[in-house]
Amino acid sequence: MPVTIVVGGQWGDEGKGKIVDALSAGFRAVVRYQGGPNAGHTVVRDDRRLVLHQLPTGILQADVHCFLAPGVVLDPWALRQEIDELHSAGFNSEMLVISPACHVIMPWHRDLDGCQEDRAGGGAIGTTRRGIGPCYIDKTARRGIRFADFVDEERLRHRIEAHRESIDAQLMQAGKPVLDVEALLEECRPLMRELIDYLGDSARPVRNMLEAGEAVLMEGAQGTLLDVDWGTYPFVTSSNPLAGGACTGGGVSPMTVERVIGIFKTYQTRVGNGPFPSEFQDEAFHDEFRQRAGEFGATTGRNRRCGWFDLVAARHSARINGLTDLVFTKLDILSGLPDIQVCVGYRVGGEVLEDFPEDSALLEGPVEAVFRTLPGWEGDLSRASSLEELPKNARAYLDFLSAEMGCRIGWVSTGPGSDQVIRCP
Ligand code: IMP
């Protein structure tokens, strides 16, 4: 009954789209277990670039079942647009199933997310403004709207009316107009009709597949350092991207998990605010690197902050996820640098931390990254089909990271194309 979980090992944007796309052909089902339209999974197919936000990446395979499980928050307006774009690109959405228990991002969630960010000024999280936080707040406050409510007008009306007072109070506080329930229902009606066909249970069919010995892939969004419990709180998303989230949000038993694959860029990036000890300090180098690496957000287009690989955070990620395999992406971006730095400690108040602090607020004050320097390498990596074919120093860099993280290397990505990947035996 093998379940494989794919997680982002860093602050998201590790290149999960390409890897899950390549992996998914070997699975019977792909399940998204958390997050929502804040994600942006980029897949390049025949020179066409597709960005998936809510749909599981397996949707690009004709015969892979795709589920949005209860841990996901779903924006029906954005989903309809994504499905339209999928169809225009020549793919179909017939294999998609949306759990009745997925929570729905309503327009007021988006409004509140934006207002809260605007009002927070310098203390803003730097969210994607897609309504993720406010939707998860309503979920845990037990006043949310779930997908089964959304596609049934009477249930939807009832849920909105039951919590209208609190929604209106929040909207007024944010300086927004209060709800016009009839106008909102009018706006929802066509979506209900279009999306109701996707309504279906996720856990039971997945369990049946596992019992029949078929393989299932759990696809995480964002990354471990954005996990609401184990990331750099409060500069995190509002869900659990880490492997444990696949069991709670995705509904699979921990006993069925065989592999946990952690995806890491060979350097570090982050969008939004919050601590980033290994961030590049030299502005000119930072800008040049960002351009060369194309580090602009797939969902919001924002500049990504870039830095050296953070091994302290990566070891935390390996342990907390129980990683069995590592995938390193964008190795080609580092080619040509005279030397490569790796952050191996955080100097905080005269003490060097080699373990990621559970009180991550310690990283919000002055932190100096302690670096170890490794020699760089030259040359085009895109033709390499095995680790042995990489330049000696590139291989040594990857071996150092994997030894320190205590996990084997599964794949190494050396360019955006689907063929630019080294698959280790
Ligand atoms: P939210 O998930 O929109 O609430 O944003 C919270 C934090 O997570 C912000 O720093 C976002 O930039 C970050 N974030 C959310 N989704 C992603 C993602 O898919 N990749 C990278 N960062 C993300």
Q: Are 127 and 114 contacting, i.e. CB atoms less than 8 angstroms apart?
A: no
d(CA 227, ligand 1 centre) in Å: 10
Report the alpha-carbon distance of residue 172 to residue 222 in Å, rounded.
31
Report the alpha-carbon distance of residue 241 to residue 218 in Å, rounded.
11
d(CA 204, ligand 1 centre) in Å: 30
d(CA 111, ligand 1 centre) in Å: 17
Q: How far is CA 333 from CA 49, 147, 192, 312, 415, in A?
A: 19, 41, 45, 22, 8
Question: Which protein residue has the closest C-alpha to ligand 1 atom 21?
Answer: 12
Write the Ramachandran bin of 348: left for phi over 0, alpha for psi from -120 to 50, otherwise beta.
beta
The CATH number assigned to the domain with range 108-196 reads 1.10.300.10
Residue ranges per structural domain of the chain: 3-102+197-261, 108-196, 264-423
Q: Where are the alpha helices (DSSP H) in 256-310?
A: 283-293
Q: pLDDT (tens digit, 9 = 90+) per residue, 42-71?
A: 888 777 788 899 999 999 999 999 999 999
Catalytic residue numbers? 13, 41
Ligand 1 and 298: CB distance under 6 A:
no
Residues 6+ apart with CB under 8 A from 306: 267, 268, 269, 279, 280, 286, 289, 290, 293, 295
Ligand 1 and 112: CB distance under 6 A:
no
Ligand 1 mutation target, pool 57, 116, 237, 295, most atoms within 8 A of CB: 237
Question: Which protein residue has the closest C-alpha to ligand 1 atom 10?
Answer: 272
First and final C-alpha spacing in the chain: 22
Ligand 1 and 133: CB distance under 6 A:
yes
Ligand 1 and 105: CB distance under 6 A:
no
d(CA 231, ligand 1 centre) in Å: 12
Burial code of 362-392, b = ≥16 C-beta within 10 A, e = fewer? bbeeebebbbeebebbeeebeebeeeeebbe
Ligand 1 mutation target, pool 6, 11, 38, most atoms within 8 A of CB: 38
- Provide the percentage of residues in the chain whose pLDDT is more than 70: 100
pLDDT recorded at residue 301: 86
d(CA 35, ligand 1 centre) in Å: 9
Q: pLDDT (tens digit, 9 = 90+) per residue, 146-191?
A: 999 999 999 999 999 999 999 999 999 999 999 999 999 999 999 9
pLDDT recorded at residue 345: 98
User: Torsion over CA of 383, 386, 390 and 392, rounded to 10 degrees?
Assistant: -160
Ligand 1 and 20: CB distance under 6 A:
no
| Residue (of 242, 388, 276, 401) closest to 334 by Cα position | 401
pLDDT recorded at residue 73: 98
DSSP SS3 for 159 = helix
d(CA 110, ligand 1 centre) in Å: 14
Report the alpha-carbon distance of residue 69 to residue 57 in Å, rounded.
14
pLDDT recorded at residue 282: 96
Mean pLDDT, rounded, for 3-26: 94
For β-strands 65-68 and 96-98, DSSP reports them as parallel
> Which of 1.10.3720.10, 3.90.170.10, 3.30.43.10, 3.30.750.24 would CATH assign to domain 264-423?
3.90.170.10
d(CA 300, ligand 1 centre) in Å: 10
Ligand 1 and 10: CB distance under 6 A:
no
Q: Which fold has domain 3-102+197-261?
A: Adenylosuccinate Synthetase; Chain A, domain 1 (3.40.440)
Residue type present at position 357: P
Q: pLDDT (tens digit, 9 = 90+) per residue, 325-349?
A: 999 999 999 999 999 999 999 999 9
Report the alpha-carbon distance of residue 146 to residue 156 in Å, rounded.
9
Q: pLDDT (tens digit, 9 = 90+) per residue, 258-292?
A: 999 999 999 999 999 999 999 999 999 999 999 99
Q: pLDDT (tens digit, 9 = 90+) per residue, 227-267?
A: 999 999 999 999 999 999 999 999 999 999 999 999 999 99
Q: Are 29 and 64 contacting, i.e. CB atoms less than 8 angstroms apart?
A: yes
DSSP SS3 for 341 = strand
Confidence category of residue 419, pLDDT binned at 50, 70, 90: confident
pTM of the predicted structure, to 2 decimals: 0.96
d(CA 193, ligand 1 centre) in Å: 30
Q: pLDDT (tens digit, 9 = 90+) per residue, 106-122?
A: 999 999 999 999 999 88
Residue 1 has pLDDT above 70, yes or no: no
Confidence category of residue 294, pLDDT binned at 50, 70, 90: very high
What's the length of the chain? Answer: 425
Question: Which protein residue has the closest C-alpha to ligand 1 atom 11?
Answer: 127
Ligand 1 and 232: CB distance under 6 A:
no
Burial class (CB in 10 A: 0-12, 13-18, 19+), 296: middle
Ligand 1 and 54: CB distance under 6 A:
no
Which atom of ligand 1 is nearest the CA belonging to 221?
A: 19
Average pLDDT of every residue of the chain: 95
Ligand 1 and 224: CB distance under 6 A:
no
Ligand 1 and 304: CB distance under 6 A:
no
Ligand 1 and 37: CB distance under 6 A:
no
pLDDT recorded at residue 385: 93
Q: How far is CA 153 from CA 161, 178, 202, in A?
A: 12, 20, 22
Report the alpha-carbon distance of residue 53 to residue 41 in Å, rounded.
6
pLDDT recorded at residue 289: 97
pLDDT recorded at residue 86: 94
Ligand 1 mutation target, pool 128, 139, 269, most atoms within 8 A of CB: 128
Question: Which protein residue has the closest C-alpha to ligand 1 atom 9?
Answer: 127
Both tokens assigned to 374 = 């490794």
